[in-house]
Chain A
Amino acid sequence: MADGMDRFDGWLRQRLAETVEDAAAAPRRRLVLPGTVERRRGHPRLQGFVAGLVTAALLFAIVWTALNGGLRRAAPANPPSQKAGRVLGTTALPDPAFNVAAGDGAVWVPDARQGALLRIDARSGRVVATIAVASSALPPSTAIETVAVTPGAVWMTWSASDELLRIDPASNTVAEHIPLGVAPTSLAVLGGDVWVSATQANRVLRVAADTGAVRASLALTDPGPIAAGDGGVWVVSEREGVLSRIDPASSTVATVVTLPPGLDYVVDAVAAGAAGVWFRNLAAQSVERVDPASGLVVQQAGLGGGETGGVAGPVSIASTADAVWVTVTNALLRVDRRTLQVSRLPMILPTGVAVDADGTLWVATLQATVMHVAPGKG
């Protein structure tokens, strides 16, 4: 199988290289470069016609976009302040971290390279246990690891393994391997159930936390990031451009938000909790709140792109009672739930963010650290 994929990858790489070569060599119709003597040439009347057409289309697009905004109260990307929070401590890890969960006095970080789950003592900030959870180390590029905490259990998945793992925090051992039959993508916990999305299989599974039994398997196209709270389980379907709510009482899927088509409305993170249901839109560099009752987007906060030579794209999202927290390339952003004011705490390459029971935050980074953050008030 691996050999077949390697050969396909090699073939694809070759074809793509030829395609880029062809594209570069093809005639250029109208590229105009600054700093050269070449300037756009053309009939002034035609240029005027085109400019008029473009202007009219631009106006149409603006009106169309505004209309599609519905009930949104859009906030401009506010100049960031330094009031997002303060770092209480930093824990060094053996490898870059992509995800983190917190609860019961411990912080849990999957380590794909070691095939392990790291346990950090929340009080001392020290790694106190390295729990082997995979038979062998998994290459980070093939392992999407997700982790969540419930009282008395830690739940974890690897994309490379069709299993849901239950780790016993009392003994720091894997207590149960629950076969899913599908490759997991993301997981969330609600009440006594663990919800697992499986992108490739187009399924969302409901697993009973006490027995490990798969209670329901729901068909959903391209389910990705998943979150639980505010009366439901929320699943992003990126390809379909919808944010779906699953009713935990009936295990039925109700499509709640259909995102505007054809505009690269790229949603790939969702959080649900006391602050409501929020998702982040990578294309618009914003976080947006959905009203669960109406299914309408009712709040939108621009995060601001910023041209720093790198990319300022959000990576993860979480919510507390008064704020939504988003990691971007060089900062942890706090979006005030009420004012939509954005403030930032600079940090390097943060990835996952988790909210502890005491309201503090734990942020994993690709710098192989986990940072403990006291939230500010914005």
Chain B
Amino acid sequence: MRDQATLMQDSATRPAADQAIAAIYAREGTRLVGLARVLAADMDAGEDLAQEVFVRALRALQRDPDYLHEPVWPWLRTTLVRLVIERRRRIQREMSRLARVARASDSVEWPAATADVATALAELPPRMRACVVLRYCEDLSTIDVARTLGCAPGTVVVQLREARKRLRLWLEPPIEESGDG
């Protein structure tokens, strides 16, 4: 049984954690949702993922108020990427999609201007997509991408090369290409 001091600490920590997470959301929420939607290549699944990241952050802060340190963004991003490539979460997202069949009209459409990119990203395997997004959107080095994904740098190089090849084919960039590079 927990003692009174622990209970008092809990009651003090919870509102503080709530406030902290609200502040983080106010600052990084929009950015994380955008990144999550692109990483998931799905508007709704991206929302689920972003929400899960904040839930994890809240739980962590409730356990330990000093768990997150500034800058918080790398932690949010890493946690998000791990969720994207985690099998269990994917199963859950698939189930969420099943559940949404009953209310499909609620789904958020991708804006027409970038729907082609979103469609192309959706065709990439999740980890390859994560490599592309982390490298090009987050400007991470190959080594940092590898650290974030938990794989060898060489794997990232191969994934990026393959992704570039596919995206160049699918997106038909309006620039002259002269090789595979």
Which residues of A are interface residues toward B (Cβ below 8 A)? Answer: 1-5, 7-9, 11-13, 15-36, 46, 49-50, 53-54, 57-58, 61, 65, 96, 98, 140-142, 144-146, 159, 185, 199-200, 222, 224, 238-239, 263-266, 268-269, 282-284, 305, 307, 309-316, 328-329, 349, 351-352, 366
Task: Determine if B103 is an interface residue (Cβ-Cβ < 8 Å).
Answer: yes
22 A–B contacts, CB within 8 A, in A order: A18-B113, A18-B114, A19-B117, A20-B34, A20-B38, A20-B133, A24-B37, A25-B111, A26-B109, A26-B111, A33-B22, A33-B51, A34-B54, A53-B95, A98-B154, A159-B154, A159-B157, A199-B158, A200-B161, A239-B125, A263-B87, A329-B150
Residues of B within 8 A of A13 (CB): 136-137
Q: Cβ of A61 and Cβ of B147 under 8 Å apart?
A: no
Residues of B within 8 A of A141 (CB): 141-143, 153, 157
Task: Determine if B71 is an interface residue (Cβ-Cβ < 8 Å).
Answer: no
A21, A53, A305: the one within 8 Å of B99 (CB): A53
Q: Cβ of A23 and Cβ of B148 under 8 Å apart?
A: no
Q: How large is the interface on B (under 10, 10 to 19, 20 to 34, 35 or more residues)?
A: 35 or more
B122-163 interface code vs A (CB 8 A; 1 in, 0 out): 000111000011001100011100111111111101100110
B16-30 interface code vs A (CB 8 A; 1 in, 0 out): 011111100100011
B18, B44, B142: the one within 8 Å of A140 (CB): B142
Residues of A within 8 A of B92 (CB): 58
B50, B85, B146, B158: the one within 8 Å of A266 (CB): B85
Minimum C-beta distance from A160 to chain B (A): 10
A18 to B51, CA, bound (A): 22
Q: Cβ of A32 and Cβ of B150 under 8 Å apart?
A: no
Which residues of B are interface residues toward A (Cβ below 8 A)? Answer: 17-22, 25, 29-31, 33-35, 37-38, 43-44, 46-47, 50-51, 54-56, 58, 60, 67-68, 75, 78-79, 82, 85-87, 90-92, 94-96, 98-99, 102-103, 106-111, 113-114, 117-118, 121, 125-127, 132-133, 136-137, 141-143, 146-155, 157-158, 161-162, 164, 167-168, 171, 173-181
Not counting A31-B33, A222-B162, A263-B87, a sample of 8 additional A-B residue pairs whose C-beta atoms are within 8 angstroms of each other reads A9-B136, A12-B164, A18-B117, A19-B117, A144-B154, A224-B155, A239-B125, A282-B149
Q: Cβ of B87 and Cβ of A264 under 8 Å apart?
A: yes
Q: Cβ of A26 and Cβ of B108 under 8 Å apart?
A: yes
Residues of A within 8 A of B173 (CB): 8, 11-12
Q: Cβ of B46 and Cβ of A20 under 8 Å apart?
A: no
Residues of B within 8 A of A238 (CB): 125
Residues of A within 8 A of B178 (CB): 1, 3-4
Q: Cβ of A8 and Cβ of B164 under 8 Å apart?
A: yes
A28, A46, A264, A314: the one within 8 Å of B102 (CB): A46
Q: Cβ of A4 and Cβ of B176 under 8 Å apart?
A: yes
A8, A32, A282, A329: the one within 8 Å of B147 (CB): A329
A32 to B16, CA, bound (A): 19
Q: Cβ of B107 and Cβ of A1 under 8 Å apart?
A: no
Name A305's closest neighbour in chain B (CB-CB). B82
A18 to B115, CA, bound (A): 11
Known: A26-B111, A31-B33, A36-B22. A315 touches B150 (CB 8 A): yes
Residues of A within 8 A of B125 (CB): 238-239, 264
Residues of A within 8 A of B175 (CB): 4, 7-8, 11
Minimum C-beta distance from B142 to chain A (A): 4
Minimum C-beta distance from A25 to chain B (A): 8
Residues of A within 8 A of B54 (CB): 33-35
Minimum C-beta distance from A369 to chain B (A): 15
Residues of A within 8 A of B21 (CB): 33-35
Residues of B within 8 A of A239 (CB): 125, 162
Residues of B within 8 A of A266 (CB): 85, 127
Known: A16-B132, A268-B155. A23 touches B34 (CB 8 A): yes
Q: Cβ of A307 and Cβ of B60 under 8 Å apart?
A: yes
Known: A35-B21, A57-B98. A309 touches B75 (CB 8 A): yes
A46 to B175, CA, bound (A): 50
Residues of B within 8 A of A159 (CB): 154, 157-158
Residues of A within 8 A of B19 (CB): 35
Residues of A within 8 A of B78 (CB): 309-311
Q: Cβ of A1 and Cβ of B106 under 8 Å apart?
A: no
Q: Cβ of B25 and Cβ of A36 under 8 Å apart?
A: yes
A222 to B162, CA, bound (A): 10
Name A143's closest neighbour in chain B (CB-CB). B157
A98 to B142, CA, bound (A): 12
Q: Cβ of B133 and Cβ of A313 under 8 Å apart?
A: no
Residues of B within 8 A of A224 (CB): 155, 158
Q: Cβ of A316 and Cβ of B152 under 8 Å apart?
A: yes
Q: Cβ of A264 and Cβ of B133 under 8 Å apart?
A: no
Q: Cβ of A28 and Cβ of B117 under 8 Å apart?
A: no
Q: Cβ of B87 and Cβ of A265 under 8 Å apart?
A: yes
Q: Which of B107, B133, B158 has the most CB of A within 10 A?
A: B158
Known: A8-B173, A8-B177, A313-B149. A22 touches B47 (CB 8 A): no
Q: Cβ of A16 and Cβ of B133 under 8 Å apart?
A: yes
